A and B are shown apart, each in its own frame.
Chain A
């Protein structure tokens, strides 16, 4: 019976691997992917990148302009996240099972947040292009909507996890709704919520680069501009600057997390 059990497990694993191989094979045939060529072109790509895609002395004169755009992108990301977080806090309090006013408003606010969360920021950018055209505002709203949806969900979970016990206790003392929010929910969940906001800022700075490509603004647009005009050295500089900025932001937010948690 024991031996049988293991034999069966092995059979299952084998079947799974065979199925995986089958699917891979079908995918290769359908997309007419040339496996040999795929591998042999990797060294070529690396050689090209090393030969062309690095910043040169001349590209450094563009640095101030690039930094300008980077700062704009950073500020837009941070503004979109913090404003999104404020809206998310309100919806999370209304949507959490612990603090909702009633089941009806609870489902409505969670429903709204779900819609916003399930539309990708890139999709938001495309949609908003129609209303705001190619401007920072489009990027700002795209990031705002995305952050709002994601943070609402995270905040709801944080509230339910961190404060349901003390909320029950304060309700039992006869405390009013707003007293409970300010003395139990906010103190219990704030550090975790700040941590989520920091995470969202990091994510948004990464997405902002992509959004910039779509909306013709910020650092993403700068990259696109130089890349399309074959100025690979400047484009490489842009990439380096973005990477440096993301590393800095990560270091700062890790530090803040350590202090508050």
Chain B
């Protein structure tokens, strides 16, 4: 399998801050893979994800997505690449006052000319696709509802719909379940896993829950203080690895790990 995404010696230093948020990060992700990025708060997970679609510009290093060097792209080419990468957020980032269907169709704006984009001219085909995606996600009865009237889990599914309508090659998910209750969280994770398995879309997820990461992923990337300290399959992860990722005071996490491996 060829790599869809390749990150090489990626470093990021924010203007005006002392240490680096990311230091010499290297990893690659194959087409269709489900990868979880775990690490303590402030480790640099969000920064890493945002460097991939250049919401944040890296300080040095290279990112290759679909055989194109993302770090070198001009504005227009960058927009083209972004249309192929969906993004999902912890706080959903929907337009609260617009309906579910409008929020979903927003995923098409990247492909439109300036005028068609401003006027919101969506084709019949795009609208039908939106309906199909929404019904797969179980939202068909809510399409005209305003986003601010939805529950957290429903909002996140709209976020997923907005990403899927882009026909993306890859999804970047920044803590998609951090604000959800366990049941809604499971629904979202199941959908993401299904998207990866049945649609062949590559999924990169930042997670705080180690057990969830181990259960759903093909590969785990562990980050501590901006450095990759683990990169391998969930089955291969050990107590020592978890300790290296989360630091020494990770006793209860290690306890969890036993439970997961046993089941």
Q: Residues of A at under 8 Å CB distance from B?
A: 162-163, 165-166, 168-176, 178-184, 187-188, 190-191
Contacts and interface: CB of A to CB of B under 8 A. Distances in A.
B35 interface: no
Given A179-B109, A179-B112, A173 B117 contact: no
Contact of B55 (A162, A168, A183, A187): A168
A116 to B, nearest CB: 29
Interface string B94-109: 1111100010001101
B85 interface: yes
A188 B97 contact: yes
A173 B108 CA distance: 8
Interface of B: 53, 55, 78-83, 85-87, 89, 91-98, 102, 106-107, 109-112, 114, 117-118, 120, 159, 162-163, 166, 172
A174 B118 contact: no
A169 B109 contact: no
A19 B94 CA distance: 53
A10 to B, nearest CB: 42
A175 B110 CA distance: 4
B109 A168 contact: no
List the 10 shortest-distance A-B pairs measured between CB atoms, nearest first.
Answer: A174-B110, A179-B117, A174-B82, A175-B109, A169-B93, A165-B93, A172-B87, A174-B83, A174-B79, A173-B110
A170 B97 contact: no
Contact of A165 (B55, B78, B91, B111): B91
Contacts of B107: 173
B109 A176 contact: yes
A49 to B, nearest CB: 49
A174 B80 contact: yes
Contacts of A170: 106, 109
Contacts of A174: 78-83, 109-111
Given A178-B114, A183-B106, A172 B53 contact: yes
